[in-house]
C-alpha cells in the first residue's frame, strides 16, 4: 500500500497530520478492497445532460452521480454541478479539425503530498475546495459553530485539454451533427463506463432490453408453432427437434434476461455474461456448431461489445426458421371434429391440405378406411357438415396427393389430401363462416362418448382399434 496506518499511542500530541494520514490509509484500504472484489466498480450511476445547453454549443450537466476508478464518489445534484464548458472555445471544433470527436471527462485533481491540495477558489489543480458551514451540536441542539469543510474539486474536461494530474472517467462523446448548422450532438454509439445498465438508456432500455425482446419473440413464435402442431420429442419431422431444443434454451435465457431488465442496479458485466451464456447455448444451431469468436468485456467502451452480442444473437435466432406451413389439429366437437382457421388462409396465395396421421396403418389401408362405406368422412363448414353428411350431399373436394410437397411434413405417418378452391356451395359456406368441420360414421368410432375436446379418434377397423389424427395444413405459396 502507498499509505501506512497511524500508530496511535499514549501521550502523543495530536496534529492535523495524524488525522490526514489516517484518512489516507483508510481511504486507500477501502479502495483496494473494492477494486479487488469488483474490478469494474467504477463508472456513472446517474447523469442528466443539459441538451438545451448542448444545442447552444455548451456542455453542462444538471446532475451527476459517479464513482471514479480511484474510489472517489461524486454525487452532485441541481445547484451543485461542476463547471459549464463553452465548446466553441475548443480548438477541436475549428477549421480542419471540425470533424473530430471530443470526449467529455469527469475528473478530480489527484492528491499530491508536498503541495497545497485545498484552495478557496476553483480552477487549479487542488484536489479540494474549502468551504465553511454553520453547524449545530446534534446532541443538545443549538450552540452553532462555524466549521471549515472541504469539497471535491470536480471538473468537466475535454479530451483536447491537458488531463495530466486528474483522476478521470469518460462520460460521453460529442460529434458534429450532419447538418449545415453543424450543431453538436451526443454520439449515441458510445456508452461510457456505468455502474448499472439502467444508468445509460441506450444500454439498458436499448441493447439489453432489445436482446430480451428478441428472445421473447422467438420463444413465443416457436411455442405457438409447437403447441399448434402438438410436437413432442418423439417427432420425426425435420427441424422439430431443433425447434424444441432452441425453445428450451430460449426459455432459460429469457427468464434470466427478464429478471435483469426488471431489476435495478444490475452491473453491465452481469448482463454481458448472461448474453454470453445465451449465445453459447444457442451456438449449436449456428453454421459452425460451436461458440463463435466473441468480444472481450470492455468496461470503458460498452457500446461495441453489446452491439456485437446483439447481432450474433439475432444470427443464431434466425438459424432455426419458422415452419413453411401452419397447422391446426381437428378437435372433437359434437358428433365430429372441427379445426380453427385463420382469416389469412382464405387468401388466394395459400394452399390447403388435409393430413391424416395414420399411425401403423399402410397408405392403402388408410384410404380404404376413409372411403365410402367405412368412415364416410365429409368436410364442410361447422353449420353445414352435419346436413351434408346426413343427406350424402357433396362436401369439400379432397384430392389425394400424387406428389410430395416440400413444405409439408415428410414423416411417413402422414397421408395428405389437397383441398382445391372450388365454387361449390360447400366451399362457399366455409369461406362465409370461416369454419371447417369433419363428420365421420359414428358407429365405427370407439371413443365417441369421450371425443369432445380430443385430438385423437379411435376407430374400429378389421377387428382392431386404430387411432387416427386429422389436421389442416395451410401452406403459403412462394412468390
- What are the beta bridge partners of residue 437? 338, 380
CB of 419 within 8 A of CB of 401? Answer: no
Q: How far apart are CA 288 and CA 113, in angstroms?
A: 58
Helix axes 209-229, 302-317, angle to 10 degrees: 10
Q: What CA–CA distance (Å, rounded) separates 240 from 293?
A: 28
Looking at residue 441, what is its pLDDT? 85
- CA pair distance 266, 40, nearest whole angstrom: 13
* pLDDT value, residue 91: 47
CA dist list (Å): 287 to 164, 249, 250, 277, 281? 49, 17, 18, 18, 14
Q: What angle, rounded to 10 degrees, do the helices at 209-229 and 268-282 form?
A: 30
Reduced to 3 states (helix: H, G, I; strand: E, B; else coil), residue 228 is: helix
- Per the DSSP assignment, residues forming a β-bridge with 91 are none
For 284, list phi and psi in degrees, rounded to 5.
-60, -20
**Cα–Cα distance for residue pair 304/105, rounded to 1 Å:** 20
- In terms of residues, how long is the chain? 479
Closest CA to 137 of 148, 129, 145: 145
The grid coordinates of residue 42 equal 467504477
| CA–CA distance, 159 with 175 (Å, rounded to integer) | 13
The CB-based long-range contact list for 49-53 (8 Å cut-off, 24+ gap) reads 49/172, 49/186, 53/84
Q: What count of other Cβ atoms lies within 10 Å of the Cβ of residue 420?
A: 12
Q: Please enumerate in sequence order all residues whose Cβ is within 8 A of that of 399, keeping only pairs 6 or more positions apart, or say none.
A: 417, 418, 419, 420
> What is the reported pLDDT for 449?
84
The 10s digit of each residue's pLDDT in 404-415 is: 777 787 677 888
442 contact partners, CB below 8 Å, separation of at least 6: 335, 448
- Taking the C-alpha atoms of residue 281 and residue 284, their distance in angstroms, rounded to an integer, is 7
Which stretches in the chain have pLDDT values below 50?
A: 91-92, 94-98, 479
The alpha-carbon radius of gyration of the chain (Å, integer) is: 36
What residue ranges in 267-333 does DSSP mark as E strands? 326-329, 331-333
List the 102-109 sheet strands across, edge first: 155-158, 102-109, 166-176, 184-186
What's the N-to-C CA distance of the chain in angstroms? Answer: 72
Closest C-alpha to 117, from 24, 35, 42: 24
The rounded distance, in Å, linking the Cα atoms of 91 and 467 is 83
Closest CA relative to residue 249, chosen from 209, 212, 278 = 278
Give the Cα separation of 340 and 415 in Å (integer).
20
Amino acid at each position: 500500500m502507498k499509505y501506512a496506518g497511524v500508530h496511535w499511542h499514549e501521550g502523543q500530541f495530536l496534529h492535523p497530520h495524524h488525522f490526514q494520514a489516517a484518512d489516507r490509509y483508510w481511504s486507500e484500504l477501502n479502495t483496494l478492497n473494492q477494486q479487488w472484489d469488483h474490478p469494474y466498480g467504477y463508472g456513472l450511476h446517474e447523469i442528466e445532460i443539459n441538451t438545451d445547453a448542448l444545442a447552444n454549443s455548451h456542455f453542462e450537466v444538471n446532475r451527476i452521480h459517479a464513482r471514479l476508478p480511484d474510489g472517489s464518489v461524486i454525487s452532485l445534484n441541481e445547484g451543485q454541478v461542476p463547471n459549464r464548458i463553452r465548446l466553441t472555445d475548443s480548438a477541436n471544433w475549428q477549421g480542419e479539425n471540425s470533424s473530430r470527436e471530443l470526449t467529455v471527462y469527469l475528473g478530480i485533481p489527484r492528491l499530491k503530498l508536498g503541495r497545497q491540495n485545498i484552495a478557496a477558489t476553483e480552477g487549479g489543480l487542488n484536489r479540494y475546495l474549502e468551504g465553511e458551514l454553520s453547524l449545530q451540536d446534534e446532541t443538545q441542539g443549538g450552540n452553532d459553530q462555524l466549521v471549515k469543510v472541504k469539497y471535491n474539486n470536480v471538473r468537466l474536461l475535454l479530451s483536447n485539454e491537458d488531463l495530466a494530474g486528474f483522476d478521470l472517467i469518460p462520460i460521453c462523446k460529442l460529434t458534429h451533427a450532419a447538418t449545415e448548422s453543424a450543431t453538436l450532438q451526443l454520439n449515441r454509439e458510445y456508452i461510457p463506463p456505468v455502474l448499472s445498465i439502467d444508468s445509460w438508456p441506450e444500454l439498458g432500455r436499448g441493447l439489453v432490453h432489445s436482446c430480451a425482446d428478441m428472445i421473447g419473440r422467438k420463444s413465443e413464435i416457436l411455442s405457438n408453432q409447437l403447441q399448434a402442431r402438438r410436437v413432442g420429442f418423439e417427432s420425426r419431422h425435420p427441424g422439430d427437434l431443433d425447434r424444441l431444443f432452441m425453445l428450451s434454451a430460449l426459455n432459460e435465457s429469457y427468464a434470466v434476461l427478464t429478471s435483469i431488465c426488471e431489476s435495478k442496479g444490475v452491473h453491465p458485466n452481469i448482463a454481458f455474461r448472461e448474453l454470453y451464456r445465451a449465445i453459447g447455448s444457442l451456438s449449436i444451431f449456428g453454421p459452425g456448431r460451436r461458440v463463435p469468436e466473441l468480444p472481450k468485456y470492455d468496461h470503458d467502451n460498452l457500446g461495441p461489445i453489446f452491439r456485437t452480442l446483439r447481432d450474433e444473437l439475432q444470427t443464431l435466432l434466425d438459424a432455426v426458421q419458422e415452419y413453411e406451413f401452419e397447422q391446426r389439429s381437428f378437435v372433437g366437437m359434437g358428433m365430429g371434429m372441427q379445426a380453427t382457421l385463420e382469416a389469412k388462409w382464405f387468401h388466394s396465395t395459400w394452399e390447403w391440405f388435409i393430413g391424416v396421421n395414420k399411425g401403423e396403418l399402410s397408405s392403402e389401408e388408410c384410404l380404404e378406411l376413409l372411403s365410402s362405406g367405412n368412415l364416410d368422412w365429409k368436410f364442410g363448414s361447422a353449420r353445414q357438415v352435419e346436413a351434408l353428411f346426413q343427406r350424402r350431399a357433396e362436401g369439400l373436394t379432397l384430392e389425394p396427393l400424387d406428389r410430395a410437397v416440400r413444405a409439408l411434413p415428410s414423416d411417413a405417418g402422414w397421408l395428405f389430401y389437397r383441398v382445391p378452391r372450388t365454387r361449390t356451395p360447400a366451399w362457399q359456406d366455409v369461406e362465409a363462416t370461416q369454419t371447417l368441420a369433419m363428420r365421420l360414421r359414428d358407429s365405427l368410432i370407439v371413443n365417441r362418448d369421450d371425443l369432445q375436446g380430443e385430438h385423437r379418434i379411435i376407430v374400429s377397423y378389421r377387428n382392431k382399434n386404430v387411432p387416427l389424427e386429422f389436421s389442416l395444413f395451410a401452406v403459403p405459396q412462394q412468390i
